[in-house]
Amino acid sequence: MVTFSHIEPGTPEADWQAAGIDRLPALAEGVVPGRGCRLVVAAAHPDDESLGAAGLIHSSLVRGADVTVLLCTAGEASHPDSPTYSAADLHRLRLAEFRAAMQALETSAQAQARAQAQAESDHGASAGRLEWQFLGIPDGLVGQHADALDAAFAKALEGHAHAVVAAPYRQDGHPDHEAVGHAAARSATAHRADLLEFPIWYWHWADPTAETSWTNWQSLRLSAQDAAAKQLALAAHASQTQPLSTAAGDEVLLSEAFQEHFDRGVEVFAWTPAGPAGSEHAAHIFDRLYRSDPDPWNYLSSWYERRKRAVTLAALPAERYGNAMEAGCSIGVLTAELAKRCDRLMALDTSGVALDQARRRLADVNNVELVQAQLPAGWPSSAADGLDLVAISEIGYFLTGPELRELLRKVLETLNPGGHLLLCHWLHPIDGWELDGEQVHSIAKEATGWDVVSLHRERDFLLEVLQAPERAK
């Protein structure tokens, strides 16, 4: 957990601007919900929803989506040393501020929807409905009430086939924020909903030149009406944006410098596309991801990725391979390196958008065949001729357990005696999918029973090369 204090100066907004926060790609078309869809926003404390997602709420309402806001706590611990307000006073005050913020967003959205309907002579158009629920969890103890959060999400999402979940970033640095974020991720996975995570305190403590997570995020450009509604909602939380009094202990919680992070004209989200764990929807999920960002994992610019490729190539025991297959080639960056070590390389990916990039990148490489295939069902019949190397890098956790075992069964059938199975996977949580990196490698070793002939483990990834038994003499 990151340690920080709200009274520290924090990272100036100018640093985020200089780093390019206003140049992030826009959210993919269709992510912001409209008529017939539901947006569920979770807030750990009153004002989280206004700081991180008021523009999203307002835009969704105007588009006709129904919005539910789940408020976990009353934020009664915001001023523990206040001589003028008790925790009970703050409980009442901050709930009243939250209600006022919700009313401001709803009233503005209704007015804009009416104006748009009148301008377009669409008399059937109207704003979506806004409702909210207070869960009554004690401030500071959200992590101890995961069951209540899960139940609230389940109720809000029940019966809605098209839904978006928004919540604080899971690595925001505040335990309540992170607990809400993890609950939102669980619910988005269970209900096949898009997940939008909005940072709050991250902007205060993170260094944009040292932290890289934010470079993969997307932005929602706020219309003039969205931005104005956001400011009305924020103004409702006066106990946080202004001092409670001049007495010591009643100082402002959200300084003017901190509030500058939320005056950008955009809201920034870490977006996890909807989809169940498994390959069935992989093409749709990853096509949409690559359309929104041609290099979503920074293969071309990240030192981590360049170094990992170098470790991967160094770990391969053989200098040269005859027939090889790369499962999940993405935009073809590792493919280009593997091709230098192989006579023939078949590179597969489920995303046609990614493969279009790979074809351009590998246009002058004549020993690579690019194939669009959904694994394991799309395992090429040509692999029956025998393979000397199969590379499964960073894709094992995008399959279900049964799918991964079926893929490994096909590897068992086609890898030549003495051939190598390369596995390389990220070791941190993979939200939205059934498996993680450790599980992928464990299943592979159990399913094949092959010896590990090369092993590299570090904090972020695990790389293992398994060898098929040599032919008995």
Over residues 31-84, the pLDDT tens digits come to 899 988 999 999 999 999 999 999 999 999 999 999 999 999 999 999 999 999
Per-residue pLDDT band at 279 (split at 50, 70, 90): low
Distance CA 325, CA 346 (A): 5
Per-residue pLDDT band at 276 (split at 50, 70, 90): low
Per-residue pLDDT band at 197 (split at 50, 70, 90): very high
> DSSP 3-state assignment of 323?
strand
The answer on pLDDT for 203 being more than 90 is yes
- Check residue 281 and give its pLDDT: 62
The answer on pLDDT for 422 being more than 70 is yes
The answer on pLDDT for 260 being more than 80 is yes
Over residues 285-310, the pLDDT tens digits come to 788 778 878 888 899 999 999 999 99
Over residues 380-397, the pLDDT tens digits come to 988 888 999 999 999 999
Distance CA 355, CA 371 (A): 8
Per-residue pLDDT band at 191 (split at 50, 70, 90): confident
Q: Give the mean pLDDT of 221-242.
A: 96
Of the candidates 252, 177, 206, 171, the residue with the CA atom closest to the CA atom of residue 10 = 206
Residue pair 327/305 in contact (Cβ under 8 Å)? The answer is no
Looking at per-residue pLDDT, the higher value among 276 and 212 belongs to 212
Average pLDDT over all residues of the chain: 92
Q: Per residue, what are the HEC states of 367-401? A: CEEEEECCCCCCCCHHHHHCEEEEEEECCHHHCCH
The answer on pLDDT for 127 being more than 70 is yes
Distance CA 351, CA 343 (A): 25
Residue in the block written with tokens 């098209």? 162
Terminal CA-CA length for the chain: 56
Over residues 321-356, the pLDDT tens digits come to 999 999 999 999 999 999 999 999 999 999 999 999
Q: Is 223 left (phi over 0), alpha (psi -120 to 50) or beta?
A: beta
Per-residue pLDDT band at 118 (split at 50, 70, 90): confident
Distance CA 347, CA 253 (A): 54
The answer on pLDDT for 277 being more than 60 is no
The answer on pLDDT for 275 being more than 70 is no
Q: Give the mean pLDDT of 138-161.
A: 93
Question: Beta-carbon neighbour count of residue 246 at 10 Å?
Answer: 8
Tokens of 470: 């040599």
Ordered structural domains, the chain, with CATH: 13-274 (3.40.50.10320), 303-467 (3.40.50.150)
Pairing between strand 266-272 and 194-198? antiparallel
Of the candidates 371, 358, 373, the residue with the CA atom closest to the CA atom of residue 407 = 373
The answer on pLDDT for 472 being more than 80 is no
- Check residue 157 and give its pLDDT: 93
- Check residue 471 and give its pLDDT: 78
Which segments of 73-142 are extended strands (E)?
130-134
Angle at 187 between CA 149 and CA 434, to 5 degrees: 130
> DSSP 3-state assignment of 219?
strand
Distance CA 143, CA 28 (A): 31
- Check residue 384 and give its pLDDT: 84
Q: Give the mean pLDDT of 169-183.
A: 95
Give the whole-number percent of the chain exceeding pLDDT 90. Answer: 77
Tokens of 29: 């078309």
Pairing between strand 66-71 and 163-168? unpaired
